Amino acid sequence: MSVAAVPAVAADPSVCAPLAVLGRDVTVPLVTGGEVTYAALDYAASAPALQRVWDDVAAYAPYYGSVHRGAGYLSQLSTDLFENSRTTVAEFLDCREDDQVVFTRSTTDSLNLLAAALPAGCEVFVFETEHHASLLPWRNARVTYLDAPRTPGEAVRNLERALADRDPYGPALVCVTGASNVTGELWPVRELAAAAHAHGARIVLDAAQLAPHHPVSVQELDVDWVAFSGHKLYAPFGSGVLAGRSDWLREAEPYLAGGGASRKVARRPKEAGGGVDVEWHDTAARHEAGSPNVIGVYSIAAACKALTEAGFDELVAREQYLIRKVREGLAEVPAVRVLSLFGDDAPRVGVISFVVDGWNSSHFAAALSAEYGIGVRDGLFCAHPLVRTLLGGKADEPGECGAPEAAPGEKSLNAIRVSFGAGTPDEHVERFVRAVKELVADGARWNYRTEDGRCVPDTSAAA
């Protein structure tokens, strides 16, 4: 089954979020007076931590100790927990038996690690639609940037044409997202992997936006590597994963040099020039130098278990129900234009970006927050080429992630993104849709100004 296949929406999904998250009862002040429960609708940036993850980490915290090589009980317990977490992640991703699971800081870190491990002469193929985390790490390699496709089939055909023109004897790597962080649309990963392998290339999947919403099977999708971040998978503490084939990783110089990556270090005799000789590990430890983030790693494993036990079929069905509520609500507002590459019928996760006629996106997002207690994202979402393509802007126009480029009411090339997931209750998306309609119909109830590059409420006077 392709990653783009989506289970049918449940006939009567629960109005309650299927998984409890931290912050679900937090209240925030409104600039117009009073307080309201915060509606966290910025999951694509960082999803709130699952209560289950927080509880698991809290239960382990008193037993926290150094990992590897420690003789004490807590060190050995922490080492077992760390390595068992590696096994849990491998099972979550349905890895092959000989795949390695390397723990990193984030998706960005994972893809930079893989970029540092590319064999000499490797060609890289990447669509301009990628997040900067998967667009930029390859700049020291020979890179072919592919134009934004307008259908999944066009994406496969464009890749096949590009690969057909490459050196057939040299190494090559394709990098592709599983779900867009701008449009939420699912990419034809399995088909792209087949195209890559047919032309002797390998493929890495950026699953940062896919793994929290859909099951990801390395074997079913037939990808060579997959990368994702804990902070988007309902797991705090700053860890990520690069999982997949071991040969390029084993043959590369360690991503970081230091303790843990080395198996043996010895001084050279002075008559031999001095210095040190190093024998590096050929396991995942080769690229995990230094003291690892045990808490972060364990939180990822706990999130993997929680999502698996909750059942992705039910989670996907529930999310599709919320997507339909948001899209149908936005469709009732003529001034709203939802951004899309593949069209309205394209399968997608709970990530939707849009613009509003007559509004600067930063101004609109500020009003959602200040007047309704709703947290969304505005800007170019660290995917500048894609957003500029969708908005009709020039590829060389300057931009900065998340920062408006004009004062409220002035023309600006940015968008608004709403994103949600397993911890989102109905009330949050209903409040969001209602707020969009009210702001478009009646305007903001407060005055706003630009401060330090952001649009903020002007607390000196009401509108």
User: Which residues are known catalytic residues?
Assistant: 382
Q: Which residues contact 74 (CB under 8 A, 6 or more apart)?
A: 63, 64, 65
Give the gyration radius of the chain's Cα atoms.
23
- Reduced to 3 states, what is the DSSP secondary structure of residue 219? helix
Residue 347 carries which side chain, given as an amino acid letter? Answer: P
* Cα-based angle 377, 379, 382 (whole degrees, multiple of 5): 95
Phi, psi of 179 (to 5 degrees): -145, 130
For residues 104 and 239, is the Cβ–Cβ distance under 8 A?
A: yes
Residue 9 tokens read as 């929406």
User: What's the start-to-end Cα distance of the chain, in Å?
Assistant: 53
Q: Which residues contact 139 (CB under 8 A, 6 or more apart)?
A: none
* Beta partners for residue 175, in sequence order: 126, 204
Q: Which of 277, 270, 212 is nearest to 241 (CA)?
A: 212
Q: Which residues contact 30 (CB under 8 A, 6 or more apart)?
A: 36, 370, 371, 372, 373
H helix or E strand, kind and range, residue 202: strand 202-206
For residues 136 and 115, is the Cβ–Cβ distance under 8 A?
A: no
Measure CA 283 to chain center.
26
Cα distance between residue 63 and residue 17, in whole Å: 32
